[in-house]
DNA sequence: TGTTAGCACTCGATGTAGGGGAGTGCTAAC
DNA sequence: GTTAGCACTCCCCTACATCGAGTGCTAACA
């Protein structure tokens, strides 16, 4: 059964009211607040229908109604449709330009958390290519060689290798040329055992060093796999009583500190991404079990060519979806500007 | 007034009992538990004295006694004296060797949190010298130069510089020699403006690149100033009701997420360090206000020559000081082994 | 047929009273 | 100096009554 106009209005009114107050809303409240001019009794009948349809539910017999996950879903979907046409116009978030990526991301989540009063997270932009761009060995001191590995997207990894004795300048030069000619432009899958064997052969007595460099290269590419996550405002969850009891709070805080769960969530959001760049997970829709009483809104952003990351906002199911989505769109724009301004 | 032997025994018994149970302890309990063979009435008299002296206090008139900060301080101090002579013998913590420092530290706090059920943190080892060890420029592509800067203690920083056009091999070589001969072994204070001017002059038309590299060097040394902090088990605070109410929990979690407060605390602990390498801050002794209901135990460790960091454990004032201190000493030993095994 | 007023009912929240118990301080006797 | 005894205090738990918001149902109304 489809919702008729009146039911939709009532449902929206229930949800809006609940978003504001966090308390179950009764028929009398709706009767007064909406411009429907219906008595509370009529509203009650409609609400009984809406409950049967699964959009709202009663915490206990003689209480008002609160939205179910299905109800929230309806609300968010209809709101997103409106948003499509709407021009986002909001006060700017105060982002200062930062030279260090790390600082920038840390700042983004901080600003976002302060502005929304929810918990926020961001995954560092990740290059999709992951090809080796440049390798360089340098003698650090008598027993250490520094291996610098640059991956496409200018992700840089350093490794220090212990060696028995100092290598001569020319040996180092030869090894550098050898490594670069063989490895540049290759992705992890393209570095075959055959190629490695060939390189080792050419390296002669220094084949063990080549082996260790290749290990380092493999690690450099792979380490990037587990995304870096920055978070802020995890303690905002205490603002919302429905999330703040010990059990739930502990799980949530754990998830935020552990970060691996967040990583999965953000990655999935990025894959689910449906073009408009905004995703909403309500309650159990989220893959992270500790967030079953939360809603998560995510946005994908792009910083440099092909370097994509995801921002996430975690709050109670009764979060201010409107504001959150606007803020995220705004942020997407700003990060975009930042990218354009860079080149 | 000094505490006589009997008062000391009673005070210790009160504290031990309270550490175990978390409940105020009454005179009857002490009378039964200790080997003093005193009636509860006698104990009561002594406890009244102890309260007057400020070592214990009553939550309310007809309740047992709990230790005051002063009482805890007495307990910890006398325990530390005993520890001096005692050989630490504990089950090993399961630390696997890690090549990445970051992973190692993350693992340390995780293991520590799992073993103690308290919140843990660690500051990355920080070199005190901060001298430039090695600088290298490499051409990345037509418009980018990679500057690798290695600071003493093998802290590595990478910076990418944008340039107008590709430099020739020999120019690059010349610049590298120039930079290294002038900068190696110098600390931030020793890099004078005069020296910079001399270098720029020698660099000729590439003086701007030299300038930017020097900026990068300065940043590399300075960025290390704000220590890196890793934490784990912040949600353990929910295990202790006296820390778990919304207000306190929120502040504590915020401190753990923000990290700057922790940084100050660990830094101070490192400076306060009195030779035995263990520091205990009880309640308001800690410089961090959100920890006024906590105790913090810290230990300084040394990984490589002169690279020192600090580990911290945060729990309720009634934490198991004995176990925590033992665990930390144990960890210190293991990290020491790790260091020795490395060379 | 849809809407509304009226009413009995439900159930959580809040307040109050009372018993139980752990613990104390004081006094008097040993 | 130590101890037994005792009155007293105060928290905690339970039971019980009350209150009020909100419901579902029914009957009357337009």
Instruction: Please report residues of A whose CB lies closer than 8 A to that of B99.
Output: 159, 219
The most confident of the ranges A274-283, B51-60, B168-177 is: B51-60
Q: Is any atom of strand C within 7 angstroms of residue A38's beta carbon?
A: yes
- Give the model's pLDDT for residue A97: 60
Q: Which nucleotide is nearest to B28 (CA to C1')?
A: C23
* Distance from C-alpha of B225 to C-alpha of B215, rounded to nearest angstrom: 16
Residue B90, pLDDT above cutoff 60: no
Residues of chain A with CATH 3.30.450.40: 96-126+228-342
Token pair in block for residue A150 = 């640059």
Q: Is any atom of strand D within 7 angstroms of residue A31's beta carbon?
A: no
Contact map slice: B 153-182 vs A, CB within 8 A:
154, 156, 158, 160
Q: Which nucleotide is nearest to A27 (CA to C1')?
A: D22
Confidence class for position B94, pLDDT limits 50, 70, 90? low
Four-residue CA torsion sign, B67, B71, B76, B78: negative
Four-residue CA torsion sign, A195, A198, A199, A200: positive
Confidence class for position B343, pLDDT limits 50, 70, 90? very low
Q: Is any atom of strand D within 7 angstroms of residue B35's beta carbon?
A: no
* Distance from C-alpha of B318 to C-alpha of B281, rounded to nearest angstrom: 12
Contact map slice: A 44-83 vs B, CB within 8 A:
none
Flag if B158 and A156 touch (Cβ within 8 Å). yes
Q: Is any atom of strand D within 7 angstroms of residue B39's beta carbon?
A: yes
Close Cβ partners of A339 (under 8 Å, ≥ 6 residues apart): A302, A303, A304
Helix axis angle for A321-342 and A69-85, nearest 10°, is 50
B47 CA from D12 C1′ (Å): 24
Count the neighbouring beta carbons within 10 Å of the beta carbon of residue A324: 22
CATH superfamily ID and name for B96-126+227-342: GAF domain (3.30.450.40)
Flag if B156 and A144 touch (Cβ within 8 Å). no
Residue of B nearest to A143 (CA): B343
Token pair in block for residue B23 = 């409940």
Question: Mean pLDDT across chain B, nearest whole number?
Answer: 86
Q: Which of B183, B182, B138 is nearest to B161 (CA)?
A: B138
Those residues of chain A that have pLDDT short of 50 are 343
pTM for the predicted model, two decimal places = 0.83
Residue of A nearest to B240 (CA): A246
Distance of CA A200 to the CA centre of its chain: 41
Flag if B235 and A253 touch (Cβ within 8 Å). yes
Q: Is any atom of strand D within 7 angstroms of residue A60's beta carbon?
A: no
Instruction: Please report residues of A whose CB lies closer than 8 A to that of B132.
Output: none
Q: How many CB pairs under 8 A join A and B?
A: 82
State the average pLDDT over residues B32-54: 92
Is residue A257 less than 8 Å (CB to CB) from chain B?
Answer: yes
* More confident: B238 or B36: B238
- Give the model's pLDDT for residue A156: 80
Token pair in block for residue A326 = 């606007």
Instruction: Please report residues of A whose CB lies closer than 8 A to that of B140.
Output: 133-134, 150, 154
The torsion angles phi and psi of A236, rounded to 5 degrees, stand at -60, -20
- Chain B interface mutation, best of A149, A153, A249, A252, highest count of B Cβ atoms under 10 Å: A249
| Adjacent-strand bridge partners of B4 | none
Nucleotides of C under 7 A from a protein CB: 3-6, 9-12, 21-27
Flag if A223 and B100 touch (Cβ within 8 Å). yes
Q: Is any atom of strand C within 7 angstroms of residue A144's beta carbon?
A: no
Per the CB < 8 A criterion, the answer to whether B180 and B191 are in contact is no
The CATH number, out of the four listed (3.40.1790.10, 3.40.50.970, 3.90.1150.10, 3.30.450.40), of the domain defined by the range A96-126+228-342: 3.30.450.40
* Distance from C-alpha of B177 to C-alpha of B264, rounded to nearest angstrom: 39
Pairing state between β A229-232 and A119-123 = antiparallel
Confidence class for position B1, pLDDT limits 50, 70, 90? low
Nucleotides of D under 7 A from a protein CB: 2-5, 8-11, 20-26
Q: How far apart are the first and last CA of chain A?
A: 54
Is residue A188 less than 8 Å (CB to CB) from chain B?
Answer: no
Is residue A234 less than 8 Å (CB to CB) from chain B?
Answer: yes
Residue of B nearest to A139 (CA): B134
Residues of chain B with CATH 3.30.450.40: 96-126+227-342
Instruction: Please report residues of A whose CB lies closer than 8 A to that of B256.
Output: 257
Q: Could you give the percent of chain B with pLDDT greater than 90?
A: 45
Minimal CA separation from A167 to chain B, in Å: 16
A188 torsion bin: left (phi>0), alpha (psi -120 to 50), beta (else):
alpha
- Give the model's pLDDT for residue A343: 43
- Give the model's pLDDT for residue B91: 60
- Give the model's pLDDT for residue B85: 61
State the average pLDDT over residues B5-29: 93
Flag if B249 and A257 touch (Cβ within 8 Å). no
Minimal CA separation from A341 to chain B, in Å: 14
Flag if B257 and A231 touch (Cβ within 8 Å). yes
Tokens 């809006």 found at: A16
In CATH, the number for domain A5-67 is: 1.10.10.10
- Give the model's pLDDT for residue A314: 98
Is residue B100 less than 8 Å (CB to CB) from chain A?
Answer: yes
B62 CA from D8 C1′ (Å): 10
Residues of chain B with CATH 1.10.10.10: 5-67
* Distance from C-alpha of B63 to C-alpha of B66, rounded to nearest angstrom: 9
Is residue B127 less than 8 Å (CB to CB) from chain A?
Answer: no
Instruction: Please report residues of A whose CB lies closer than 8 A to that of B160.
Output: 154, 156
Flag if A136 and B138 touch (Cβ within 8 Å). yes
- Chain B interface mutation, best of A238, A241, A252, highest count of B Cβ atoms under 10 Å: A238
Is residue A261 less than 8 Å (CB to CB) from chain B?
Answer: no
* More confident: A306 or B330: B330
The CATH number, out of the four listed (1.20.58, 3.30.390, 3.40.50, 3.30.1330), of the domain defined by the range B132-223: 3.30.390
CB-CB: which of B146, B150, B246 is closest to A244?
B246
Q: Could you write out the DSSP letters of every residue in A65-77?
A: BEE-HHHHHHHHH
Q: Which of B301, B258, B329 is nearest to A235 (CA)?
A: B258
Q: Which nucleotide is nearest to B40 (CA to C1')?
A: D3
- Give the model's pLDDT for residue A202: 87
Q: Could you give the percent of chain B with pLDDT greater than 70?
A: 88
Residues of chain B with CATH 3.30.390: 132-223
* Distance from C-alpha of B334 to C-alpha of B317, rounded to nearest angstrom: 27
Tokens 């380092």 found at: A216
Is residue A136 less than 8 Å (CB to CB) from chain B?
Answer: yes
Token pair in block for residue A116 = 């929304």
């Amino acid at each position: 059964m489809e919702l008729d106009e009146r039911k939709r209005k009532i449902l929206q009114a229930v949800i809006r009211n609940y978003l504001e107050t966090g308390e179950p809303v009764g028929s009398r409240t709706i009767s007064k607040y909406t411009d429907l001019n219906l008595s509370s009794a009529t509203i009650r009948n409609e609400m009984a229908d809406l409950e049967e349809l699964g959009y709202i539910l009663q915490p206990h017999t003689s209480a008002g109604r609160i939205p179910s996950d299905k109800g929230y879903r309806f609300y968010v979907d209809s709101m997103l449709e409106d948003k499509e046409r709407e021009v986002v116009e909001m006060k700017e978030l105060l982002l200062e330009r930062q030279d260090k990526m790390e600082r920038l991301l840390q700042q983004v989540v901080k600003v976002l958390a302060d502005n929304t009063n929810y918990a926020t997270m961001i995954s560092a932009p990740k290059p999709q290519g992951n090809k080796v761009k440049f390798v360089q060995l340098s003698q650090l001191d008598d027993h250490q060689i520094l291996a610098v590995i640059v991956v496409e997207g200018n992700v840089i990894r350093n490794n220090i290798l212990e060696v028995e004795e100092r290598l001569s300048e020319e040996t180092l030069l030869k090894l550098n040329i050898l490594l670069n000619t063989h490895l540049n432009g290759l992705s992890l899958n393209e570095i075959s055992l055959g190629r490695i064997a060939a390189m080792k052969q050419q390296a002669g007595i220094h084949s063990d060093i080549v082996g260790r460099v290749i290990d380092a290269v493999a690690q450099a590419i792979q380490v990037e796999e587990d995304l870096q996550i920055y978070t802020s405002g995890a303690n905002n969850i205490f603002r919302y009583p429905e999330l703040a009891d010990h059990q739930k709070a502990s799980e949530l805080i754990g998830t935020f500190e552990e970060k691996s769960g967040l990583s999965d969530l953000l990655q999935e959001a990025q894959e689910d991404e449906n073009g408009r760049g905004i995703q909403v997970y309500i309650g159990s829709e989220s893959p992270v079990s500790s967030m079953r009483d939360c809603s998560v809104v995510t946005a994908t952003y792009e910083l440099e060519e092909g370097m994509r990351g995801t921002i996430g906002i975690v709050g109670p199911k009764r979060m201010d979806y409107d504001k959150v989505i606007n803020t995220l769109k705004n942020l997407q724009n700003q990060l975009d500007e930042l990218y354009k301004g860079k080149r």
